[in-house]
Amino acid sequence: MRPAEGEPRWICDEMLGRLARYLRFLGYDTEYARNRTDSSILQQAKEEDRRVVTRDQGMAERSPRVVLLRSLEIEGQLLELREAFPALRREVRFLRCSLCNALLEEADRSSPRPPKGVPEGPWMSAAPIFLCPRCGQAYWEGSHTDEIRRTLERVFAMDRSHRSPSSEAPRR
Ligand SMILES: [Zn+2]
C-alpha cells in the first residue's frame, strides 16, 4: 500500500512523541522533532508542506500551519486533531514504521526462518509481516496493535457521542 496523494503530513513537536507514533500507525508521514528550535520546525513544515502539532501556545501563534493541542493524554490529543481535521483516518495500517517513519516493506516469506525480531508463530501464520528497511522493526497483527486499536476505538466512540445529538449524554 502506498501513501495517499494529498493527505496531510505532520511534524509532532518534542512533547508529542506518543501522538507521532499513533499518526504513523494510522499511516501518516509524521516527523518527530526532538531538540529542535521552533524556527527550524516551522521552516521544515513550510518546505515540506507539513502541519505542525504542538502543545506550545507560542509556537501556535507563529504560523497558520500549527495545530495547537491542549490535552495531555493521547485520547484527548487524537480527538482534538480529529476535530481540526475531520477526515483524519481511524484505522491502523502497516504503512510507516512507528519508530522512525520509514515506509514499511512486506517481508519475503520464502525463507523458512523468520527475520530478527519476528517469532516463529507469526512467521508460520499466513498473516502479513512488515519490516522497516531503516531500523529493522517488524510489524504484524498482534499484541502490539491491540492497544493502539483499543485506544482508537475509545477515541472514535467519544467522537461519535460528541457529534451525534441523539446520543448526547445527559448533562451532570
Ligand atoms: Zn523504522
Distance 93 CA to ligand 1 centre (A): 15
Look at residue 172 and tell me if it is in a domain.
no
Look at residue 44 and tell me if it is in a domain.
yes
Look at residue 86 and tell me if it is in a domain.
yes
CA distances from 69 to 37, 55, 97 (A): 19, 5, 24
**137/161 Cα distance (integer angstroms):** 36
Look at residue 54 and tell me if it is in a domain.
yes
pLDDT at 166: 44
Look at residue 148 and tell me if it is in a domain.
no
Distance 134 CA to ligand 1 centre (A): 5
Report residue 156's pLDDT band, with 50, 70 and 90 as the boundaries: confident
pTM for this entry: 0.87
Look at residue 128 and tell me if it is in a domain.
no
Distance 172 CA to ligand 1 centre (A): 46
Q: For residue 60, what is its C-alpha cell?
A: 501556535
- Worst-scoring range by mean pLDDT, 50-59, 76-85, 161-170? 161-170
Look at residue 169 and tell me if it is in a domain.
no
- As for how many domains the chain has, the answer is 1
Report residue 159's pLDDT band, with 50, 70 and 90 as the boundaries: low
Which domain, by its residues, includes 69? Answer: 10-93
Look at residue 70 and tell me if it is in a domain.
yes
